[in-house]
Amino acid sequence: MPAIERTEALPLPLTALTEDEKLFQTTVRQFAREEIRPHVRAMDEAGVFRKDLIQQFFAMGLMGIEIPEEYGGQGGSFFQAILAVEELSAVDPSAGVVVDVQNTICNNALLKWATAGQKAKYLPRLAADMVASYALSEAGSGSDAFAMATRAEDQGDHFLLTGRKLWITNAAEAGFFLLFANARPEAGYRGVTAFLVEREFPGFQVGKKEDKLGLRASSTCELILDSCRVPRENVMGEVGQGYKIAIETLNEGRIAIGAQMIGLARGALEHATAYARDRKQFGKAIGEFQGVQFTLAKMAVEIEAARLLVYNAARLRDAGMPFLMEAAMAKYYSSEIAEKAASQAIEVHGGVGITKDYPVEKLYRDAKIGRIYEGTSNIQLLTIAKKLLGK
């Protein structure tokens, strides 16, 4: 049988990390365990992410991983951003999502779609000290993302934006918003336009912060636009091109949600394994009972399978290869596994697992959003099915 010729360069083996990636992973892991872990419970109860930790994110370069060095960033890879989100989320998924939105959604969108002037103006700040937020969703536009009511009225040298955005991550801390509004409602989704909005723009206001089940330290707020004045030069891409920008950005962001979920699941497994070693019943550690061993083993298998899906999608993206279906698979499966792993970790802990004395109940609360935001599980299945059917 003749050998099959490979016409495209394949990504690195999925679990093989370069020396730079290993060092980066180890550094973020150590930081998460030493600097974030002591504050996780307090941040969850207060519903506020510590400002000093965000400052440390910037100092470590975690808020500008892919931003080129010429703009003050790290000049790293998308895969490195995925590693960072995973490692932070293994300790606190709220920390993971702060870094996720900054890197894989906002920074990435600017790197691809912004003009040279827009990059020069905003990327140095996003790498140094300005938190970014992504504002697409509204009360009437969730899975139907482009059924938005926010309008952008063309005034020549500026636009006036009017409407409300809901469920906007990082909004409480952000100074910069990648925000979508419809500048041509008569054109439907082809009127949706991307705007670069600063917090201080007249007519812009951050509204109510949501009181959430999980990811409580990560802010989720309403945005209020009351004839918000946005200069024309702050249109990113062309007027009416916003739907394309949003779709492409979310496709990458879903890989990062997958990383957040495998990090969460890994944290749940680590806690369950440690408890199984220490907790004694009938004169021996519960980890010596086959029933508990099998539970832990199955968790490990499923988490590794989810990790391979996430790493595969990230490697494909970095290699410039198609990754739409792989991203949907990664997001779908990792979010399913995260919820399952968190639930099983509670069961390994028994009665104490549902108390706030142990961290697994928080991971269970944090896991639920994984199957909902940045595309529900049903939306991911629909994407996969369409690709399979050639639609």
Query: Annotated catalytic sites, by residue?
Result: 374
Contact of 132 with 176, CB cutoff 8 Å: yes
Q: Measured between alpha carbons, how far is 101 from 179 in angstroms, rounded to an integer?
A: 13
Instruction: Quickly count: other Cβ atoms within 10 Å of residue 38's Cβ.
Output: 9
Instruction: Quickly count: other Cβ atoms within 10 Å of residue 388's Cβ.
Output: 9
In terms of Cα–Cα distance, which of 243, 246, 161 is closest to 205? Answer: 161
The single-letter code of the amino acid at 223 is: L
Nearby residues of 197 by Cβ (< 8 Å), 6 or more positions away: 135, 161, 176, 177, 178, 179, 204, 228, 230, 234
Q: Measured between alpha carbons, how far is 334 from 339 in angstroms, rounded to an integer?
A: 9
Element (H, E) at 226: strand 220-231
The single-letter code of the amino acid at 294 is: F
What does R_g of the chain's alpha carbons equal in angstroms? 21
Using left for φ > 0, alpha for ψ between -120 and 50, and beta otherwise, residue 61 falls in left
**Neighbour-count burial of 276, counting CB atoms closer than 10 A to its CB (0-12 exposed, 13-18 middle, 19+ buried):** buried
Contact of 159 with 182, CB cutoff 8 Å: no
Residue entry with tokens 């890879």? 77
Could you tell me the two tokens for 247? 């779709």
